[in-house]
Homo-oligomer: A and B are copies of this chain.
């Protein structure tokens, strides 16, 4: 009887999962649910290869956590087996609260509750089931463990979450230059007063990591067509919810029905089980199935939006470094209203504008420190001769304006 299980991963090869707590987590229905939620949501509209799931990502991040802990031990830092296991459990579970099309959902079907909060709720439920076996992992996840670096490996500037998703997303989208040197970065990890730091000579790897991440943001995560497609889904679900509010009967799985016909907010999740129980039934499939059915709905707005989603008939989108003129937007809105023979109020579903932006690095939150041979620490923003604080912490904004194609 072998004491571990090997799972094939196209990115890292065989991933070894020890039998016991960690394998129990992998087999748990909450975790299996992540295999029905795509890591990149709607990005496959541009990158057809981006079909990988949050389940795969969690396994990959677990793999890197195993490597990172081994590396820290190799440098002479003592870590208890129970602590190592807790960190591994925490990274396996870190995305457990994600719903389908994460951000879209947070704008439409749920309100005032983040996926991190739901993750914690689910971990606590699992912990009960498992008679407290996850208590230490939850402490690590929440940052309440005295060894701060354990939490930083789960969630921080150089966490295993990012290490995996950048490599994995780059692999599956076919944007290989977005890949990062996870092995080299992990090799450079070190500890200083229980904080995660990077050996001095790792600076180029870190710069490369920050810039590769930036490329992935603009080339993939914030790609104009992905943003457009997301906005179309927001419009579609908003319209569905609007119709639901009016009492129109819409095709939906019970779980999706719950979120369409109720106002589900933070309170719903914390008081009673209904919200959470429905939430764990929800995945990408519910949305796609409804979209297909809705594309024949008698509500013209819902059917147009849904069939646009299904058949990849995308809104036209412009990107600019400046805010779009309110008047121009209204003008288009009127044209759309006329073209589709709907009210200007209703035209809002077909016209969308806003900000897209990414902040590469937040120096105040969770800075990256480099460890010098003399034991001193320096922040990357002080010493990088190419990336200075100003540019590093600057939020880059772009403005988009997308609307139904009327030409």
User: Chain A: residues with CB nearer than 8 A to chain B?
Assistant: 2-4, 6-11, 13-14, 27, 29, 32, 35-36, 38, 44, 46-49, 51-53, 55-56, 59, 74-76, 171-181, 183-184, 187, 204-205, 207-209, 211-212, 214-215, 218-219, 251, 253-255, 281, 283-286, 288-289, 292-293, 310-312, 360, 385-388, 391-392, 394, 396
Of the candidates B9, B75, B174, B284, the one whose C-beta lies within 8 Å of that of A285 is B284
Q: A211-B386, A253-B292, A388-B391 are in contact. List 4 more A-B contacts (CB 8 A).
A: A8-B173, A27-B312, A48-B53, A177-B209
Q: How far is the CA of A46 from the CA of B283 in the complex (A)?
A: 20
Chain B's closest residue to A3 (CB) is: B74
20 CB < 8 A contacts A-B: A8-B46, A8-B175, A27-B312, A29-B311, A48-B59, A51-B56, A177-B179, A177-B180, A177-B184, A177-B205, A207-B211, A251-B254, A253-B292, A254-B293, A284-B285, A285-B289, A285-B292, A385-B394, A386-B387, A387-B391
Contacts of A36 in B (CB 8 A): 288
Q: Contacts A173-B8, A180-B177, A285-B284: A51 and B52 contacting too (C-beta < 8 A)?
A: yes
Contacts of A13 in B (CB 8 A): 174, 183
Q: How far is the CA of A386 from the CA of B369 in the complex (A)?
A: 19
**Distance from A98 Cβ to chain B, minimum over Cβ atoms (Å):** 16
Contacts of A9 in B (CB 8 A): 48-49, 174
Chain B's closest residue to A361 (CB) is: B386
**Distance from A170 Cβ to chain B, minimum over Cβ atoms (Å):** 9
**Distance from A316 Cβ to chain B, minimum over Cβ atoms (Å):** 14
| Contact indicator A32/B310 (Cβ below 8 Å) | yes
Q: How far is the CA of A33 from the CA of B289 in the complex (A)?
A: 12
| Contact indicator A74/B4 (Cβ below 8 Å) | yes
Contacts of A289 in B (CB 8 A): 253, 285-286, 289
Contacts of A59 in B (CB 8 A): 48
**Distance from A63 Cβ to chain B, minimum over Cβ atoms (Å):** 12
| Contact indicator B360/A47 (Cβ below 8 Å) | no
Of the candidates B14, B35, B214, the one whose C-beta lies within 8 Å of that of A207 is B214
Q: Contacts A253-B293, A288-B285: A177 and B187 contacting too (C-beta < 8 A)?
A: no
Contacts of A208 in B (CB 8 A): 177-178, 211-212, 214-215
Contacts of A4 in B (CB 8 A): 74
Contacts of A55 in B (CB 8 A): 48
**Distance from A145 Cβ to chain B, minimum over Cβ atoms (Å):** 26
Q: How far is the CA of A35 from the CA of B42 in the complex (A)?
A: 12
Q: How far is the CA of A183 from the CA of B284 in the complex (A)?
A: 32
Q: How far is the CA of A374 from the CA of B211 in the complex (A)?
A: 27
Contacts of A205 in B (CB 8 A): 177, 215, 219
Q: How far is the CA of A308 from the CA of B290 in the complex (A)?
A: 24
Chain B's closest residue to A59 (CB) is: B48
| Contact indicator A176/B181 (Cβ below 8 Å) | yes
Q: How far is the CA of A285 from the CA of B290 in the complex (A)?
A: 9
Interface centre among A13, A171, A208 (most CB of B within 10 A): A208
| Contact indicator A187/B312 (Cβ below 8 Å) | no
| Contact indicator A49/B386 (Cβ below 8 Å) | no
Q: How far is the CA of A392 from the CA of B388 in the complex (A)?
A: 12
